[in-house]
Amino acid sequence: MNLNQVTVPSLDLEKSIPFYQKLGLKLIVGALPHYARFECPVGDSTFSIHQVDQLPKGEGVYVYFECNDLDVQVKGMRAEGLAFQEMPTDKKWLWREARLKDLDGNNLILFYAGENRKNPPWKIQDPS
Q: Please check whether residue 72 is in contact with residue 50, taking contact to mean a CB–CB distance below 8 angstroms.
A: no
CATH homologous superfamily for 5-115? Answer: 2,3-Dihydroxybiphenyl 1,2-Dioxygenase, domain 1 (3.10.180.10)
Q: Are 98 and 112 in contact (CB under 8 A)?
A: no
Backbone phi and psi for residue 18, each to the nearest 5 degrees, phi listed first: -60, -35
Q: What is the DSSP letter of 125?
A: P
Does the pTM of the predicted model rise above 0.85? yes
The 10s digit of each residue's pLDDT in 54-102 is 999 988 889 999 999 999 999 999 999 999 999 999 999 999 999 999 9
Helix, strand, coil percentages in the chain from 3-state DSSP, rounded to 5? 20, 35, 45
